[in-house]
Amino acid sequence: MVETHYIKSSRQPFLRFYPGSSLNDDPTNFWGPTLSCVKLMLREVGFRRVSLVKTYRDNDDRAVFLARK
């Protein structure tokens, strides 16, 4: 399972870099991928089955993925 911030603005796979604490004032958050980017990255590292479990809004847009070998 992967839970992450995501970007809704594009269907194209890409990552947005958030320097310093610019994403929710959290200096440990550096990247925001699109949903398609998360799926492609998980497949690239060997997961054959990748599914989006849910998206939700907390302080930002969040997504949960399930990846299986």
> Phi/psi of residue 4, each to 5°?
-155, 160
Q: Is 47's pLDDT higher than 90?
A: yes
Structure tokens at 25: 């004032």
What are 54's strand-pairing partners? 64
The pLDDT value given to residue 66:
98
> What is the structure's pLDDT at 18?
95
Work out the average pLDDT over 20-41: 93
Q: What is the pLDDT of residue 48?
A: 97
H or E stretch including 65?
Answer: strand 61-68
Question: What is the C-alpha to C-alpha distance for residues 38 and 25, in angstroms, rounded to an integer?
Answer: 23
What does the domain layout of the chain look like in residue ranges? Answer: 2-68
Q: What stretches of the chain show up as alpha helix (H) in DSSP?
A: 35-44
Task: Give me the mean pLDDT over the 31-58 stretch.
Answer: 95
Please report which confidence band the pLDDT of residue 54 belongs to, taking 50, 70 and 90 as the band edges.
very high
